[in-house]
Amino acid sequence: VAISVKPLKVQNWILPELPGFITDILISIDDRFLYFINWLQGDIRQYNIEDPKNPVLVGQVYVGGLVQKGSPVVAVTEDGKTWQSDVPEIQLSLDGKRLYATNSLFSTWDRQFYPELAEKGSHMLQIDVDTMKGGLKINPNFFIDFGAEPDGPCMAHEMRYPGGDCTSDIWI
């Protein structure tokens, strides 16, 4: 499987293009879908990889990144219009129907690229997965704010399901 992420043309960043930066990759337990976080651009992608020589993008949701609403960085389309996304380690449930994502990667990188994250803490989202046709949708009823923790804001990453997830080496 060979997948590349095109850079986004942007304004108000240190470079004129924002590269793709893949941080977490998962393959569903049935080997049909590949998921990854595109951390700087702020999207989660789902590819159908049933034909490994021809991966097909079947789901994509924007959950943050440098081009999220409120950021000074804006993406620029081919016709010159600008846009920002609504609000990158992922966990996929054993049944493949729930994908969990946090917006923290490494504390030193978080502080460099997303300084407000260290001040306000990270969060976790649940992405509902269409396991038949492919597709991703943010679950509006699931949001965990780690900034509200009793000992101050926390930056969450590397969460695990009790008993394992689709990437575990646990076999029954």
Band of the pLDDT at 120, cuts 50, 70, 90? confident
Beta strand ranges found along 19-76 (DSSP E): 22-27, 33-38, 43-48, 56-62, 74-76
Task: Specify the pLDDT at position 2.
Answer: 79
The beta strand positions in 39-161, using DSSP E, are 43-48, 56-62, 74-76, 82-83, 90-92, 98-102, 123-129, 136-145
Residue 55 pLDDT = 94
Q: What is the pLDDT at residue 88? A: 46
How far apart, in whole angstroms, are the C-alpha atoms of residue 112 and residue 8?
A: 20
**Cβ distance 105 to 89 under 8 Å?**
yes
Residue type, 42: G
- What pLDDT, on the 0 to 100 scale, is given for residue 118? 79
Q: Terminus-to-terminus CA distance in the chain, angstroms?
A: 28
**Has residue 163 got a pLDDT over 70?**
no
The whole-number average pLDDT for the span 34-53 is: 91
Q: Which residue has the higher pLDDT, 135 or 106?
A: 135
Distance between alpha carbon 167 and the CA centroid of its chain, in Å? 17
pLDDT tens-digit map of 47-102: 999 999 999 999 998 887 888 888 899 999 999 999 888 764 455 666 778 888 88
Q: How many CB atoms lie within 10 A of CB 27?
A: 17
